[in-house]
Structures are given as C-alpha cells and as structure tokens.
C-alpha cells in the first residue's frame, strides 16, 4: 500500500469568508442534489425535456468558466480544519454525496451518523443499493479509526448483508474493536428506519508509512473533517 | 434475507418510443452529470453563485411538476427487457451512476466493464473513494452471478484494497468461482489505467426464495439489464 504524502492546499480565508463559502457552495450542491432527484423521477413530456437539458448545459458552461484543475482534493485552513469538500460521501460540495454528517467520539474511538437515502441510491426496487451501503460504511469506518487516533487506509472491508435495507432514513455506527501495531480493526453496523440491523461489517485499517512518519514527527492526533 | 416478489411495472411502448425515451432522458441525465462536476470544481465568484442556484431550482420545479411517486424501481418491456434506469450504478437515468455499461458472458458466468471515475468519485486526494470501488464491484459481481443463471442478492462482500486507485480510467471483471446449492461465490478484481490490480474482492450471492420459486415455475434464465 503506497500513497503520496498528504500535502493539502492551505486556504487563507477569514472565518467569515469560510462561512460564506460553505453557505454559497453548499446551497449550490443542495440545489444540484434536488435537480438530480427531479431528473430521475420526472415524467415530463419527452418533447419538453430537451429544453431543460439545454438550459442545464448553459448553466454548466457558466460554472466551468472558472474552475480548479482536476479533482477537488483536500484543503486545510490555518486553524487546522480539514476541508474534504469533494469527498464522495461527506463532501458538502460533492452532489454525489448524501452528504453524511459524521459524529466522532475520540475517547471511545467511535463514529456514527444518521442520514436519508432517496431514490438516487436505489438498487433492488425500493431498496438501497448494496454497494451504496458499503460506500457509506467505508467512510464511517475510516472516521472511527481516525477518531481513535489511528487513522488509516482501508485494507480489507467485509460487509454482511443481513436483510435488504428499504430506501428512507438509516443510521450507522462504527467502533474500533482492537489495534495491533499499524493495523486497526473496526466493527460496525447499519440500521433501517425501524432500527433493525440490516448490515454488519468489519474493516481492517492500515496506517501508511507517510502517516506514521508524520505522527512520529508531530504527535498523534485525530483528523477532524468538516 | 427476505424481499418482496419481483413485480415490476410493464411498460407498453413501441420500440421507437423506447428508443426516444432512452435518448431524451439519457441526455438529461448526462447533462445533470456534467453540471454535478461543474458545480464541484467551479471557482465562480461567490457573489454570482446564488443566481445559478436559483436558476437550477426553477428547472427542478419544472421537472417536479410531473413525476413518479417514490423511487424509480424497475420496469420491464413486453419484449422482456429489464429497465433498471434508476439503479445507482448502471441506471442511465440516475445521475449518481457513472453509469457503468456492464458486459456479460452467460457461458462463462462472467461480467466486466470499463469506466471513468471523475472528480465526483474522490476519496483521498486524487484517488477513487474506497467505498465507490465497493459500490461498482457489488453491481458487477451481481451481474456475473446473473450471467451464470444464478442471480442472487449479495450475502457477503469482502473487498481487499491492494493499492490506492487513481481517479481516471478503470476496468473491473467478475466471474463465478463456484456454486453450492443456492449460494454462488463470485471473485473479481478492479484495475487502474496502468492495468494494475488495485482491488480484489470475493462475494457470496444467495438466491432468495421468491426467485427460486419463479425459476421452478418458469425455468432458469439470466436477467438482462439495459
């Protein structure tokens, strides 16, 4: 397992500017998410759809006039916040993301979240796609490992599907089961709106060398995402 | 493991109408995907963003005037095609989906696909989110089991991350390793643009009772998605 050093862009904005950015671009992503669901569920007359498509392309062109190269990546603020705005699960600027707001307990090495799966996350008719459940669990598991002060990359993830998960409200929790050297074992589960466990999972997280070196230099501390 | 019987809506459209629907709504979803990436990567002046957001909301309202209740589900055509248009991985109408076009070999019980992960699928900076890799593998694995004539729901999925997967072109393949009664074991892997294996996985697929009954009544046949 290899990965380049974590050299994020440092963002030099005042707290007010940061708050304004979160609001403006967060609202934009929220509107895009609404549009995504609307476009999936619409039964608008096929003759009228191309007009909407053309209007969307015009708005994309406007947004594309000024943009970053490549992917969003991760930036950090001067006050030490990690802005994973582009993350596919928690990124407030990423429309693919639900997005999840994940809580962390650093003393217990635990992370959890409640969220809603709408029509965009469907697999079997009326149910959440099994792979989507793996997607959110992977993120929550990683944040549990980070909360415990042993952040790592996912080495192995085993997902056991106990029963289908209906679309709608869900919750998930993950906790560090044990740590052995650079390997942290995380366990967790996902529950449906009836609070029934629908998925159980276990993950092995491995601390890459670059992170071990950073910890040796600067002391161990959990990574906090916003 | 339980699931209601597979009672999809039957779509009564001529082949020409079906083709027109695929084109019009497929184009809409493609434009929404472009907008999603544009909204994530844009550095448009925060003062100008609310205007774009308002324009998007107006388009959502138009699409929402006429829509299906709840999630998209699955429909079948009179000529036996399964339209999983809302699926989170392969649904041509679902903007969350890449979407993957998955090939199947029914003689070998094999499924494979090539696809491109853009900025929307990011986890670690510059790399595909580990959970996104699990998401696409789950779908390809299920289609390998279906190709072999032993469709099933995912029981267990184990993902081994061998190295980080850079954003960009990727490919994945899955094949039935063996079948034991109602349990089918599928193995597979994902490769990056350099054709290096970055992820290996194994899945256990279980044929639910409703499907066993359907097969007993009507004979076994692979499910073909479009």
The tens digit of pLDDT for each residue in B6-35 reads: 566 777 888 898 899 899 999 999 999 999
| A193, A216, B32, B42 from B84: Cα distances, Å | 25, 50, 18, 32
| H/E element, A209 | helix A209-218
**Phi then psi dihedrals of residue A58, to 5 deg:** -65, -40
Indicate the residue of B43, B86, B158 with minimum beta-carbon distance to A122.
Answer: B86
Q: Which residue of B has its CA nearest to A42?
A: B67
Q: Which residues of B touch A44 (CB under 8 A)?
A: 62-63, 65-67
Cβ contact (<8 Å) for A134 and B135? yes
Which stretches of chain B drop beneath a pLDDT of 70?
A: 1-8, 210-211, 214-215, 217-226
Q: Which residue of A has its CA nearest to B166?
A: A3
B197-206 and A103-105: which strand pairing? Answer: unpaired
Cα gap B73→B88, rounded to integer Å: 11
- CB atoms inside a 10 Å sphere around CB A139: 29
Q: Is A41 left (phi over 0), alpha (psi -120 to 50) or beta?
A: alpha
Under a CB-based contact definition with an 8 Å cutoff, are residues B106 and B97 in contact? no
Look up the ipTM and state it. 0.91
Cβ contact (<8 Å) for B138 and A134? yes
Indicate the residue of A60, A156, A161 with minimum beta-carbon distance to B155.
Answer: A161
Cβ contact (<8 Å) for B35 and A63? yes
- Evaluated on CA atoms A122, A124, A127, A128, the torsion sign reads negative
Which stretches of chain A drop beneath a pLDDT of 50?
A: 1-5, 220-226
Cα gap B145→B150, rounded to integer Å: 5
**Phi then psi dihedrals of residue B64, to 5 deg:** -80, -10
Q: How much is the pLDDT for B119?
A: 97
Q: Which residues contact B19 (CB under 8 A, 6 or more apart)?
A: none
Q: Which residues of A touch B62 (CB under 8 A)?
A: 44, 52
Q: Which residue of B has its CA nearest to A118?
A: B71
Question: What's chain B's Rg over C-alpha atoms?
Answer: 19
Under a CB-based contact definition with an 8 Å cutoff, are residues A47 and B16 in contact? no
The Cα of A107 is separated from the nearest Cα of chain B by a number of Å equal to 25
Q: Which residues of B touch A56 (CB under 8 A)?
A: 28, 31-32, 34-35, 59
Indicate the residue of B2, B3, B123 with minimum beta-carbon distance to A87.
Answer: B123
Q: Which tokens sit at A47?
A: 């003759």
Cβ contact (<8 Å) for B95 and A44? no
Taking the CA atoms of residue B172, residue A41, residue B76 and residue B114 in that order, the dihedral angle to the nearest 10 degrees is -10
Q: Which residue of A has its CA nearest to B123?
A: A87
Q: Which residue of B has its CA nearest to A119?
A: B71
**Phi then psi dihedrals of residue B162, to 5 deg:** -85, -35
The Cα of A179 is separated from the nearest Cα of chain B by a number of Å equal to 19
The Cα of A85 is separated from the nearest Cα of chain B by a number of Å equal to 8
Q: Which residues of B touch A32 (CB under 8 A)?
A: 32, 35-36, 39, 56
Q: Which residues of A touch B163 (CB under 8 A)?
A: 1-2
Indicate the residue of A64, A89, A154 with minimum beta-carbon distance to B38.
Answer: A64
Q: Which residue of A has its CA nearest to B160?
A: A156
Cβ contact (<8 Å) for A120 and B42? no
Q: How much is the pLDDT for B201?
A: 98
Cβ contact (<8 Å) for A132 and B135? yes
If DSSP codes are grouped into helix, strand and coil, which group holds residue A15? helix
Cβ contact (<8 Å) for A34 and B123? no
What DSSP string describes A78-137?
Answer: TT--EE-TT-TTT-TT-TTS-----EEETTTTEEEEEEEE-GGGBSSTTBB-HHHHHHHH
Task: Please give, one letter per residue, the 3-state secondary structure of chain B.
Answer: CCCCCCCCEEECCCHHHHHHHHHHHHHHHHHHHHHHHHHHHECCCCCCHHHHHHHHHHHHHHHHCCECCCCCCCEEECCCCEECCCCCCCCCCCCCCCCCCCEEECCCCEEEEEEEECHHHECCCCEECHHHHHHHHHHHHHHHHHHCCCCCEEEEEEEEECCCCECEEEEEEEEEEEEECCEEEEEEEEECCCCCEEEEEEEEEECCHHHHHHHHHHCCCCCCEC
Under a CB-based contact definition with an 8 Å cutoff, are residues B139 and B150 in contact? no
Size of interface A-B (CB pairs under 8 A): 326
């Amino acid at each position: 397992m290899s990965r380049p050093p974590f050299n994020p862009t440092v963002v030099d904005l005042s707290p007010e500017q940061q708050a304004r950015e979160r609001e403006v671009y967060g609202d934009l992503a929220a509107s895009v998410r609404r549009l995504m669901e609307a476009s999936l569920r619409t039964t608008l007359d096929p003759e009228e759809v191309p007009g909407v498509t053309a209007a969307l392309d015009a708005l994309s062109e406007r947004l594309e006039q000024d943009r970053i190269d490549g992917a969003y990546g991760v930036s950090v603020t001067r006050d030490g916040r990690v802005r994973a705005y582009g993350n596919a699960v928690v990124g407030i600027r990423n429309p693919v993301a639900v997005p999840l707001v994940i809580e962390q307990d650093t003393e217990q090495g635990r992370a959890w979240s409640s969220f809603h799966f709408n029509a965009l996350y469907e697999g079997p008719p009326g149910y959440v796609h099994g792979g989507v459940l793996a997607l959110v669990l992977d993120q929550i598991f990683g944040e549990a490992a980070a909360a415990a002060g042993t952040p790592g990359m996912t080495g192995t993830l085993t997902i056991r599907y106990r029963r289908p998960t209906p679309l709608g409200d869900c919750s998930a929790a993950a906790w560090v089961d044990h740590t052995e050297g650079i390997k942290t074992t995380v366990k967790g589960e996902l529950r449906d709106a009836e609070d029934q466990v629908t998925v159980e999972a276990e993950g092995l997280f491995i601390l890459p060398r670059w992170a071990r070196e950073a910890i040796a230099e600067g002391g161990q501390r959990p990574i906090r995402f916003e």
